[in-house]
Amino acid sequence: MNPTTTRVVITGASSGIGAATAIAFARDGAMLVLAARGKEGLDEVARQCREAGGSAEVRVLDVTDPQAVAAFALEAQDILGEIDLWFSDVGIGVVGKYAEVPLEDHRRVIEANLLGHMHDAHAVLPVFQRQGHGIWVNMISFGGFVASPYSAAYAASKFGLRGFSEALRAELREHPDIHICDVYPTFVDTPGFRHAANYTGAKLSYPPGTLAPEKVADAVVGLASQPRDTTVIGAPAALMKVSELAAPLPAMLLGRFMDAWSKRADRTGDTAGALYEPERGASGIHSGQRQGASQQNTALMVGAGLALGVLGWQLLRRRERDY
């Protein structure tokens, strides 16, 4: 084995950002072990990885099962020899007003998005400590700083992931070669909305300015050689700090946007999406919606962004006066 080859594990690798990241690593000749619930999607991504120049093994895995994740980590280590980078990318969602969504769906989001990542970390950190090195990449999202009305469980999971990473970094301060890296993209053009449970009665669509999954993938690949605590993609990092100062206004603005959107969007029936079972077939990397945003949605998003920026500027001015 080439000693410079990066050895990578990705959970949530069958579609979207996970799939794009696997292929990006493969172009650099990485050795990959890919996991997700959907075998067909994994097989397709693995095929593309091999065509791109990497090697890829796949395993069907539900990260909500901690024993299965622990066994998978040991198997991945056995396949790769060592694990240089583990990317926890599992993410699901349910859209709808909190009290109108079945509680079991909210619970499923927390189990996958928060506990699933915690299961990953619990399995791989002992591997890193035995090796003396390793990078754990925690996919969070801009939603780890700005609460998402109509996605309360998703917001809880992402805020929880941010605190979890901060706690791990503090615990690992005496292990300088073990890194906890958080990634915070804004909206990304993946099949995520198609997979989401939806109780709004409105057809889900992405807002203007969604990121290509490949852009996020390139950022994750970059962490293998230059790990850092926080990577923000699609917005200035300072905006996250402003949103903290401005809370709860960002959530209120987003709530008004969601109220307006849910009344105007095309109608559809309620669905549990892929919360409990993976979508049949290969989901792919993209949603195919990036060109479909309406001018009305653009105006709403731009207006909310401007209001947030003005408020942040006012709060910063006030803080300066207080000091």
Residue with tokens 């990473």: 165
Local confidence band at 317 (pLDDT 50, 70, 90 cut-offs):
very low
Does any domain span residue 92? yes
- Own/partner pairs for 247-251, CB < 8 Å, 24+ apart? 247/147, 248/147, 249/307, 249/308, 249/311, 250/146, 250/147, 250/308, 251/146, 251/147, 251/148, 251/149
203-213 mean pLDDT: 78
Total domain count for the chain?
1
pLDDT given at position 279: 75
Say yes or no to pLDDT of 138 above 90: yes
pLDDT given at position 203: 75
Does any domain span residue 1? no
Does any domain span residue 260? yes
Does any domain span residue 146? yes
Q: Write the pLDDT tens digit of every residue in 244-264.
A: 555 555 556 555 655 565 556
pLDDT given at position 286: 79
pLDDT given at position 103: 97
Residue with tokens 């990959």: 32
Domain hosting residue 114, numbered range: 7-322
pLDDT cut 70: percent of the chain above it: 75
pLDDT given at position 55: 98
More confident residue, 297 or 81: 81
pLDDT given at position 264: 62
Report the distance separating Cα 181 and Cα 299, nearest Å. 34
More confident residue, 245 or 315: 245
Phi, psi of 104 (to 5 degrees): -65, -30
Domain harbouring 202, CATH code: 3.40.50.720
Does any domain span residue 171? yes
Active centre residues (catalytic): 154
**Mean pLDDT over each residue of the chain, to the nearest integer:** 83
Q: Write the pLDDT tens digit of every residue in 253-295.
A: 555 655 565 556 566 766 776 778 777 777 677 766 655 433 4
Report the distance separating Cα 200 and Cα 273, nearest Å. 13
Provide the β-strand partners of residue 58: 34
pLDDT given at position 152: 94
Does any domain span residue 2? no
Q: Write the pLDDT tens digit of every residue in 44-76.
A: 999 999 999 999 999 999 999 999 999 999 999
